[in-house]
């Protein structure tokens, strides 16, 4: 067991420790294997590059001595100098072969001693027999030749020394082969140990991963799955390395935030449910209120119109029958009554028109606003001719909407431009439009008396008048009706307050290029008949 103070505190430290141990084992094993391989290489090199060539050179050396012995014997028998060629060549070959053996195995004591012994035996054979025999044959005194038995004995000594040399070379060869065999056996053992170490290292890595990673992750996954099944109030706890603990802390923080978000969502759901109930009650109240307003509109359009028509009719009859028969004050009273009845009828009609906006529209259809503007101008033809006004209608687009309502917008705006014309100059009215993103931007520009910028918002409020009824007729509903129609179509309307000293006024309004969704208020108004 590893002491607690030496155990790694983090996953990185644990993995680093395991990898360092494995690396150390690999380096030690590699060093051992490299050393063994070097020794095997050295022994194989010695066997192949030294011992085997030395054995070949030893055989050549033995053959060179035989050539010397054969040359001397042939010269003794024939006396021909050509017979000594094997002798001389054998001596050169022997010296070269001996030098090769000394170069290859001169550091081996047994081999060096065997070569020295062969040199001494060869020197004795040449001194005691070969040189004397050659000198005797050349001097013509055969009786001075040494005894053949002496030559044979000395050459047998050479053969004995060659047996010792071959024995030494065989011993070196066997030793080198045994070393190679032992080293290969050790390499096989090291290979088996390395395989066993690799298996043990694999088990160690698996155990470390299982202890440091898999088990804590399984525990964390189990607690996370419990939370995922709906137990958001259960805390997530985890143990293990610092990285796993940090992951567990992050998961716990996420669980806490999810629990808070869920609680907040439930509170919001409860609030929405309560608001829905309140809205339902308010919708019921609004529906009842709209039903009452619907009844009022019905009364206003039927019950109030009838007595007003009678009052206006009888007042007109009094005016026609008794005009000039009563005094001037009576005629003025009758005229006041007739005018009041007519204005009351007009006010009721305008209120009914205002209340009907959006109530009778089933769907938005493509509307050619140029054609609508022309029809609106034609409807004001008599008024235009009386005022001498000029109306210019530019290129206007086709928009989704209600044709009757949009006609009313153009008619009200053009009518207002004619009504509030300047007395000192002919009225000029221009209607134009241009596209701005997802909306068409319309303008109705005139050169009339204009509107003070401080009243830019007030003019769109119902029943708001800037002039007395004696100066200009009207009920004060026209522009508020235009505002309601434009907003019902998803646009907005406003007055241009920055004219830079130019006469007249400009009313701007926008309409969507594509059908705009009906707002909640407009939808309720359309569904319930809100006035």
pLDDT (tens digit, 9 = 90+) per residue, 499-516? Answer: 666 788 888 999 998 876
By mean pLDDT, which of 43-47, 109-113, 255-259 is the weakest? 43-47
Print burial letters for 395-416: b (CB count within 10 Å at least 16), e (below 16): ebbebbbbbebbbbbbbbbbbb
- Is the CA virtual torsion 208, 214, 220, 222 positive or negative? negative
Which residue, among 200, 204, 216, 226, has the nearest Cα to 29 in the 3D structure?
A: 200
pTM: predicted TM-score of the whole model, two decimal places: 0.41
Give pLDDT, residue 432.
92
Give the mean pLDDT of the chain.
Answer: 76
Burial category of 337 from C-beta neighbours within 10 Å (exposed 0-12, middle 13-18, buried 19 and up): middle
Give pLDDT, residue 464.
54
**pLDDT band, residue 162 (cuts 50/70/90):** confident
Q: If DSSP codes are grouped into helix, strand and coil, which group holds residue 64?
A: helix
Tokens for 323, please give them. Answer: 């005009």
Q: Where are the beta strands (DSSP E) in 307-387?
A: 365-368
Most confident of 117-121, 209-213, 252-256, 340-344: 117-121
**More confident position, 85 or 526:** 85
**pLDDT band, residue 384 (cuts 50/70/90):** confident
Under 8 Å between Cβ of 448 and 417: yes
pLDDT (tens digit, 9 = 90+) per residue, 43-91? Answer: 777 777 778 888 888 889 889 888 888 888 888 888 788 888 888 888 8
Under DSSP, the state recorded for 510 is E
Find the angle CA(364)-CA(366)-CA(371) to the nearest 5 degrees.
Answer: 125
For each of the domains in the chain, give its residue range(s) and CATH number, in order of start: 8-219 (1.20.120.1730), 360-528 (3.30.565.10)
Q: Where are the beta strands (DSSP E) in 159-258?
A: none
């Amino acid at each position: 067991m590893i002491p607690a103070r030496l155990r790694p505190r983090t996953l990185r430290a644990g993995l680093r420790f395991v990898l360092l141990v494995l690396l150390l084992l690999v380096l030690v094993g590699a060093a051992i294997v490299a050393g063994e391989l070097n020794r095997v290489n050295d022994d194989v090199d010695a066997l192949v590059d030294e011992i085997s060539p030395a054995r070949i050179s030893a055989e050549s050396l033995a053959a060179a001595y035989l050539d010397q012995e054969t040359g001397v014997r042939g010269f003794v028998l024939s006396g021909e100098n050509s017979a000594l060629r094997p002798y001389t060549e054998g001596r050169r070959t022997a010296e070269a072969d001996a030098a090769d053996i000394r170069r290859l195995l001169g550091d081996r004591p047994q081999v060096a001693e065997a070569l020295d012994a062969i040199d001494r035996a060869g020197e004795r054979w040449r001194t005691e027999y070969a040189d004397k025999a050659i000198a005797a044959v050349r001097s013509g005194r055969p009786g001075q030749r040494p005894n053949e038995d002496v030559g044979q004995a000395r050459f047998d000594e050479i053969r004995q020394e060659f047996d010792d040399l071959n024995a030494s070379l065989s011993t070196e060869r066997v030793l080198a082969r045994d070393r190679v065999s032992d080293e290969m056996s050790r390499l096989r053992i090291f290979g088996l140990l390395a395989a066993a170490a690799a298996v043990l290292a694999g088990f160690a890595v698996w155990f470390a991963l299982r202890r440091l990673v898999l088990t804590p992750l399984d525990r964390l996954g189990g607690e996370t799955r419990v939370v995922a099944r709906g137990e958001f109030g259960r805390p997530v706890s985890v143990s293990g390395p610092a990285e796993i603990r940090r992951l567990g802390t992050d998961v716990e923080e996420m669980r806490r935030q999810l629990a808070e978000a869920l609680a907040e969502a439930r509170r919001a759901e409860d609030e929405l449910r309560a608001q829905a109930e309140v809205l339902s009650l308010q919708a019921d109240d609004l529906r009842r209120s709209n039903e009452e307003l619907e009844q009022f509109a019905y009364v206003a359009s039927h019950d109030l119109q009838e007595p007003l028509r009678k009052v206006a009719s009888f007042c007109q009859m009094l005016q026609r029958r008794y005009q000039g028969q009563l005094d001037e004050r009576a005629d003025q009273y009758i005229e006041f009554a007739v005018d009041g009845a007519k204005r009351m009828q007009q006010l009721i009609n305008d209120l009914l028109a205002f209340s009907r906006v959006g109530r009778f529209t089933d769907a938005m259809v493509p509307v050619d606003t140029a054609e609508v503007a022309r029809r609106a101008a034609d409807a004001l033809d008599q008024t235009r001719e009386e005022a001498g006004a000029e109306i210019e209608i530019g290129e206007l687009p086709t928009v989704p909407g209600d044709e009757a309502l949009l006609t009313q917008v153009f008619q009200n705006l053009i009518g207002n431009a004619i009504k509030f014309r300047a007395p000192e100059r002919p009225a000029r009215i221009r209607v134009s439009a241009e596209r701005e993103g997802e909306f068409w931007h319309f303008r109705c520009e005139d050169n009339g008396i204009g509107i003070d910028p401080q009243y830019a918002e007030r003019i769109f409020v119902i029943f708001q008048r800037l002039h007395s009824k004696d100066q200009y007729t009207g009920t004060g509903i026209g522009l508020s009706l235009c505002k309601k129609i434009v907003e019902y179509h998803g646009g907005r309307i406003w007055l241009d307050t920055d004219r830079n000293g130019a006469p007249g006024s400009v009313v701007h309004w926008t309409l969507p290029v594509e059908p705009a969704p009906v707002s909640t208020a407009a939808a309720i108004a359309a569904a319930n008949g809100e006035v």
